[in-house]
A and B are shown apart, each in its own frame.
Chain A
């Protein structure tokens, strides 16, 4: 079980927005097959009567008053940007792409 094809990996890589070479896809497919075979063990004990735990410490939503506090200046917010245009992040075209 847990066989994973090269096409499966290519699909996952697309979903993850990671470009991969043919060699990377082949390598990843064989590695993932082995890893999935090992981690699939969780299914042996995960019966219907067990509730899932997403978080070890029980937590409730934490609220606070909506009060304005000091935060980063526009200059600080933009300080790590790969490209800027005035007080804005400059990004590549996001609409009208081929796909």
Chain B
């Protein structure tokens, strides 16, 4: 009997009970990848040998009877924006084609220390810029619910790998929603921890003040178990928070919300949100009320400016961060025939190495930072960031968590928005405020929209370093929904577009 439809927690228990070995569990997932990934294209690289070696090591450690992490021997899919020593790390870009980092990111170091088996690297929008994974230089990932639709982005590969049962755990990164929006449109769970909660060392930078790596899985508990493994202070990241990690695993298991005050953000719903998305969101609120939570409406009036501010701040930081891709020390080099100088080689390399969206954002960011425009654009955006932070601070004075639909719509068709950058950016309207304020955000599935039978995401936001609160609410809501449905949204019974 295959274990691929189990949760990571169940796999962990089966490993502990010696019902299955990590090697067999890993082989089952490698077989699943071989079976479905031609259609899904969640992976850019599958490290078969490395994964089996890690699995064998986990089995040996277990047989030796030593202390072992709960996720030891459980397979995971890693977003291709995180450095893993000796393994291609492309960020979905031609610029880094065949680049093999000489070091591990801290997230990878922690995964390896916990004995987690890394199956391979997942597809993404180039340098994490996008909401559909269509901006990958290596072709799009397809949503396992409907292969003609996007799996979200930028972490579409990680989310699709979970939904297609190619891995029970995955790592994503979230700058404006790149963990939560893919989770929403694939019916999976994704968490953006508090900024500074998980180290950014070895995470290829897009927008340094917004980027945050986080855990992805099919259940709230699995996400919490992974959160616990990757979180914590790191002296190699100057923005890492030197505080104890909130007890997210206990919170995920708690399954009660009696007396909690939950704020519904008025500005993140209503007009512009698909009817079925709003309907499933309302039903989830009713479930939380039935479980003893109090729901209040909260207004965050400056959120309507968040998208505009984000598309100035993120490109500005990106234009600076991506200057490092200069073809001198690593990455591709184009046009160096001995007759032209370094600047010309840089220009030719960046012309060929970057895709259209990356170029668009570098140019936009360069403009926003230009003297004469700096105050009007970048400066104003930073002030809006203050206003958004204040909106959250005020809201959290009266509520424990805030909630909204994760995305305005379910998964759209591949190609539908690729010619209209502004329409594409609107996907992130409900996820971006979280990054601007550095707080925590979770997306978990709250059902299928009646009009298209596609997954809808429920977003929970919690104050800085109170990440346990979103796990408490998410765990409670998930348990109630699964009991209502009779089975999880994603199970062996789910009718996916891949068999």
Question: What are the residues of chain A within 8 A of B323 when measuring CB–CB?
Answer: 16-17
Q: Are B382 and A83 in contact (CB under 8 A)?
A: no
Within 8 A of A (CB), among B97-112: 99-103
Within 8 A of A (CB), among B445-465: 464
Q: In the complex, what's the smallest C-beta–C-beta distance from B312 to chain A, in angstroms?
A: 5
Q: How far is the CA of A82 from the CA of B336 in the complex (A)?
A: 10
Q: Are A56 and B385 in contact (CB under 8 A)?
A: yes
Given A16-B366, A18-B354: A41 and B305 interface contact (C-beta under 8 Å) = yes
Given A18-B362, A62-B238, A82-B331: A45 and B387 interface contact (C-beta under 8 Å) = yes
- The answer, yes or no, to whether A87 is at the interface (CB within 8 Å) is no
Question: What are the residues of chain A within 8 A of B383 when measuring CB–CB?
Answer: 42, 45-47, 50-53
Q: How far is the CA of A39 from the CA of B194 in the complex (A)?
A: 26
- The answer, yes or no, to whether A99 is at the interface (CB within 8 Å) is yes
Q: How far is the CA of A83 from the CA of B335 in the complex (A)?
A: 13
Q: Are B333 and A82 in contact (CB under 8 A)?
A: yes
Considering only CB atoms, which chain B residue lies closest to A94 in the complex? B342
Q: Are A80 and B364 in contact (CB under 8 A)?
A: no
Interface size class of A (residues with CB under 8 A): 35 or more
Question: What are the residues of chain A within 8 A of B309 when measuring CB–CB?
Answer: 39, 42
Within 8 A of B (CB), among A3-19: 4, 8-9, 12-13, 15-19
- The answer, yes or no, to whether B394 is at the interface (CB within 8 Å) is no
Q: Are A79 and B102 in contact (CB under 8 A)?
A: yes
Partner of B343, one of A17, A20, A38, A82: A17
**Interface 1/0 per residue, B350-361 and A, CB below 8 Å:** 110010000110
Q: Are B380 and A59 in contact (CB under 8 A)?
A: no
Given A35-B364, A35-B421: A53 and B342 interface contact (C-beta under 8 Å) = no
Question: What are the residues of chain B within 8 A of A39 when measuring CB–CB?
Answer: 308-309, 311-312, 377, 381
Given A35-B422, A46-B383, A93-B341: A18 and B330 interface contact (C-beta under 8 Å) = no
- The answer, yes or no, to whether B206 is at the interface (CB within 8 Å) is no
Q: Are B438 and A17 in contact (CB under 8 A)?
A: no
Q: How many residues of B contact A (CB 8 A)?
A: 71
Q: In the complex, what's the smallest C-beta–C-beta distance from B299 to chain A, in angstroms?
A: 15
Considering only CB atoms, which chain A residue lies closest to B352 in the complex? A19
Q: How far is the CA of A51 from the CA of B364 in the complex (A)?
A: 23
Q: Are B308 and A28 in contact (CB under 8 A)?
A: no
**Interface 1/0 per residue, B414-425 and A, CB below 8 Å:** 000000011000
Q: How far is the CA of A51 from the CA of B350 in the complex (A)?
A: 36
Q: Are B99 and A56 in contact (CB under 8 A)?
A: no
- The answer, yes or no, to whether B291 is at the interface (CB within 8 Å) is no
Q: Are B363 and A32 in contact (CB under 8 A)?
A: yes
Partner of A91, one of B102, B342, B367, B379: B342
Given A35-B422, A72-B103, A82-B333: A97 and B367 interface contact (C-beta under 8 Å) = no
Q: In the complex, what's the smallest C-beta–C-beta distance from B205 to chain A, in angstroms?
A: 14
Q: Are A45 and B384 in contact (CB under 8 A)?
A: yes
Considering only CB atoms, which chain A residue lies closest to B196 in the complex? A57
- The answer, yes or no, to whether A40 is at the interface (CB within 8 Å) is yes
Question: What are the residues of chain A within 8 A of B196 when measuring CB–CB?
Answer: 57
Q: Are B100 and A82 in contact (CB under 8 A)?
A: no
Q: Are A44 and B341 in contact (CB under 8 A)?
A: no
Q: Are A32 and B350 in contact (CB under 8 A)?
A: no
Question: What are the residues of chain B within 8 A of A32 when measuring CB–CB?
Answer: 360, 363-364, 367
- The answer, yes or no, to whether B63 is at the interface (CB within 8 Å) is no
B102, B312, B379 interface centre (most CB from chain A within 10 Å): B102
Partner of B330, one of A43, A45, A55, A80: A80
Given A32-B360, A57-B195: A38 and B367 interface contact (C-beta under 8 Å) = no
- The answer, yes or no, to whether B410 is at the interface (CB within 8 Å) is no
Q: Are A35 and B311 in contact (CB under 8 A)?
A: yes
Q: In the complex, what's the smallest C-beta–C-beta distance from B429 to chain A, in angstroms?
A: 12
Given A93-B342, A99-B343: A19 and B363 interface contact (C-beta under 8 Å) = no
Q: Are A79 and B366 in contact (CB under 8 A)?
A: no
Q: Are B329 and A54 in contact (CB under 8 A)?
A: no
- The answer, yes or no, to whether B17 is at the interface (CB within 8 Å) is no
Partner of A18, one of B100, B341, B351, B437: B351
Considering only CB atoms, which chain A residue lies closest to B235 in the complex? A64
- The answer, yes or no, to whether A76 is at the interface (CB within 8 Å) is yes
B194, B338, B383 interface centre (most CB from chain A within 10 Å): B383
**Interface 1/0 per residue, B131-174 and A, CB below 8 Å:** 00000000000000000000000000000000000000000000
Question: What are the residues of chain A within 8 A of B209 when measuring CB–CB?
Answer: 54-56
Given A50-B386, A53-B386: A17 and B363 interface contact (C-beta under 8 Å) = no
Question: What are the residues of chain B within 8 A of A82 when measuring CB–CB?
Answer: 327-328, 330-333, 336
Q: In the complex, what's the smallest C-beta–C-beta distance from A23 to chain B, in angstroms?
A: 12
Q: Are A4 and B387 in contact (CB under 8 A)?
A: no
- The answer, yes or no, to whether B345 is at the interface (CB within 8 Å) is yes
A42, A82, A98 interface centre (most CB from chain B within 10 Å): A42
Q: In the complex, what's the smallest C-beta–C-beta distance from B378 to chain A, in angstroms?
A: 9
Question: What are the residues of chain B within 8 A of A4 when measuring CB–CB?
Answer: 367
Q: Are A17 and B336 in contact (CB under 8 A)?
A: no
Partner of A57, one of B239, B367, B380: B239
Q: Are B377 and A42 in contact (CB under 8 A)?
A: yes
- The answer, yes or no, to whether B347 is at the interface (CB within 8 Å) is yes
Given A46-B383, A64-B235, A82-B327: A31 and B421 interface contact (C-beta under 8 Å) = yes
Cβ-closest 3 pairs across A and B: A56-B438, A80-B330, A52-B382
